[in-house]
Amino acid sequence: MAEVNFHEYDSRVDLDICLAREVGAALEIAIAERGHASLAVSGGRTPVGMFQQLRQMRLQWDKVWITLVDDRWVPPSHTDSNELLVREHLLKYHVEAAHFVSLHTGAASAEAAVAEIEARLQAIPQPFDVLILGMGEDGHTASLFPCASELEIAAAPDSTQSVVAVNPSTAPYARISLTLAAIAQARKLVVHLTGTKKRQIFEQALANTSQRLPIARVLDAARGPKHVYWAE
C-alpha cells in the first residue's frame, strides 16, 4: 500500500490556506534551485478556495508554468471547462503573470488534439514541481476513469506519452488527461479531498489490493513524496 502523509484540517478554509502556503513554498524553492517552477492543477469544485488563496501570494509568478492535469473536451468558455475554472479563480491578481498551458486546441476531437498538446507540454519544465490531484467518488483521478476503455493505456506506468484522450462511460464529455506516467514523475504529489465520503473511498481504494482504482495506481507509481490534504 502506498505511504502517504495525511494532513487533516478543522475546516475547508484552513485547508485551503495551508495548502496554498505549501504550494507557494514549494514553487519558491523550485525557483531558487532551478530558476523556474511548474504546477499542474486539477479542475472540479474542490480546488476553488485554494486557488483563491494561492492567487494572493507574492511569488515570482513570471517564472512559473501552470497547466491542468485534465480537462473536459469542451470549449474553454464552457461552464464545465476546467480551463475556465482556472482562468476565473487562479489566473488572477499575482498569478496573472504565470505562463498557462491549455489542454484545449481547435482540433475536431480530443484524440486529434493529443499530438499538439503533447508538443505544448514539452515547453513546461518537468517533472512538475507540484502536481495537485482531485478524486471522484468512483476513484478516478485526473481523467483516469475506471470505466474508460483507454484506462490501461492511460495508466501504463512505463508510457512515454504525457497525455491521452479518454472517453468515460459514466461521466460527461471526452477528456484530455495527463497519463499516470507523467503524473507519477511529479516532485511533490498532493491529493486534495473534502468530505467524509471521499475520505472513505480514498482509504478503501488504497487498502484494496485486488481492485486497484486509478487513485491507488497513481499513488503506487508516484516517485516523490505523497501528501493528502483533507477537511470535512
- Applying CB under 6 A, the residues found at the interface with ligand LXAUTJHC are 42-46, 70, 82, 134, 136, 143
Least Å distance, CB 10 to ligand LXAUTJHC, is: 20
Provide the grid cell at 178.
Answer: 495527463
Q: Is the dihedral of CA 181, 174, 99, 12 positive or negative?
A: negative
Nearer Cβ to ligand LXAUTJHC, position 67 or 185?
Answer: 67
The CB-nearest residue to ligand LXAUTJHC is 44
CB nearer ligand LXAUTJHC, residue 55 or residue 72:
72
Q: Which residue, 46 or 179, has its beta carbon nearer to ligand LXAUTJHC?
A: 46
In angstroms, what is the minimal distance from the CB of 133 to ligand LXAUTJHC?
Answer: 6
Work out how close the CB of 21 gets to ligand LXAUTJHC at its nearest, in angstroms, rounded to a whole number: 20
Question: Minimum CB separation from ligand LXAUTJHC for residue 58, in Å?
Answer: 27
The DSSP bridge partners found for residue 22 are: none
Q: 111 and 104 in contact (C-beta within 8 Å)?
A: no
Angle at 193 between CA 87 and CA 10, to 5 degrees: 110
Q: For residues 39 and 19, what is the distance between their CA atoms, to the nearest angstrom?
A: 13
Stretch (H or E) spanning 101: strand 99-101
Q: Cell 515547453 belongs to which residue? A: 123
